[in-house]
Amino acid sequence: MSQKGSINYSPGRINLKTTVLNVLNILNPLAKSKNIEISNHLINDVYILGDTDMTNTIFRNLISNAIKFTPNNGKISIKSDSNGSDSIISISDTGVGISKDNINNLFRIDFHSTSIGTNQEKGTGLGLILCKEFIEKQNGKIWVESEIGKGTTFYFTLPKTT
């Protein structure tokens, strides 16, 4: 549906901390099953202009991936910063990391990659492609920094609003 342009974009004022708390309510049981500590460092008064459903999907995919690729007793941290008219959000983990070759292909629809999580969780790689599309549809950008064995940080921007 996203590729056909049939997903509606309905921008509005979204509180980032509230959005992440709602996503964490869904994903916390999965994190607890692996004894992963998730730290939400978002402050209360950060608002973005975006689509609620798309923004929820972005956070759900990125946080669930962080859980999937972080071993037992790991850590995940969610932060935001400001860069002019944008909020820069980061989701960092102490997971297995991603090789440079794989980073170059993460957001490509023409390159299919299946990865197995630390507890044999399966994934298709399509969630990251969807995140990229939803972030770009909301006038943002996404990128990743990672080191094998040391973890991964996904960064993305979304336009701020008051």
What was the pLDDT predicted at 116? Answer: 59
Instruction: State the Cα–Cα distance between residues 119 and 142, nearest whole angstrom.
Output: 27
The SS3 of residue 28 is: helix
**What would the two tokens of residue 101 be?**
């070759």
Task: Specify the residue for token string 């996203």.
Answer: 2
CATH class given for the domain over 11-161: alpha beta
Strand partners, 38: 76
What was the pLDDT predicted at 59? Answer: 98
Cα dihedral angle (39, 58, 159, 105), rounded to 10 degrees? 110
Mean pLDDT by 10 residues, the chain (162 residues): 64 96 97 97 92 97 95 97 93 93 77 58 74 95 95 96 86
124: amino acid identity, one letter: T
**What would the two tokens of residue 143 be?**
């990128």
Instruction: State the Cα–Cα distance between residues 11 and 73, nearest whole angstrom.
Output: 37
98: amino acid identity, one letter: I
Return the domain boundaries, the chain: 11-161
